[in-house]
Structure 1
Amino acid sequence: MEHEKVKLPKRLYDALQDYGLPENGNESWPVGTISGLYDQWREEESSVLGTFIDENADNQWLLIDAVRYGYEAEPEQLYYVLLVKGDDESFLNVFRGNGRTQVDNRSEDNYWETKLTMPKIEAIDPRYKAFAVPVEEVEADD
Structure 2
Amino acid sequence: MEHEKVKLPKTIINVLDNEIKQATMWLNVAQPFTTIAAILNEMNKTTFDSDLFWWINLPANQWKLIDALRYGYEPEPEPRWGIKSGNCYMIDSCLWRFANVTPELVIDCEADFDEKYEADEVVNKLGFGEVVDLNKVGKADD
Range of TM-score over shorter length? 0.5 to 0.7
How far residue 37 of structure 1 moved from its aligned partner, in angstroms, is 0.9
1:64 aligns to what?
66
What is the DSSP-based 3-state SS (H/G/I as helix, E as strand, rest coil) of the residue aligned with 1:46? coil
Paired residue for 1:47? 50
Q: Which structure features the higher share of helix residues?
A: 2
In the alignment, which residue of structure 1 is the partner of 2:15? 19
Check 1:39–1:71 CA distance in 2 against 1; reply closer, same or farther (3 A cut).
same
The Cα shift of 1:121 comes to 4.1
**Paired residue for 2:3?**
3
- Distance across 1 between alignment mates of 2:61 and 2:107: 39
Structure 2, unmatched stretches of 5+, are 124-130
**CA separation of 1:121 and 1:62: change in aligned 2, threshold 3 A:** closer
What is the TM-score of this pair, normalised by structure 2?
0.56
Q: Is 1:121–1:129's contact at 8 Å kept on the other side of the alignment?
A: no
Coordinate RMSD, CA, aligned: 4.0
Query: Cα deviations across residues 79-130 of structure 1 (Å, max 9, x unaligned)?
Result: 3235xx66x6x93625xxxxxx33212454897233x25xx246xxx54334
Q: 2:106, 2:14 → 1: CA distance?
A: 34
- What is the percentage of aligned positions where both structures have the same residue? 27
Match of 1:129 among 117, 120, 124: 120
Q: Distance in 2 between matches of 1:133 and 1:35?
A: 38
TM-score of the pair, normalised by structure 1: 0.56
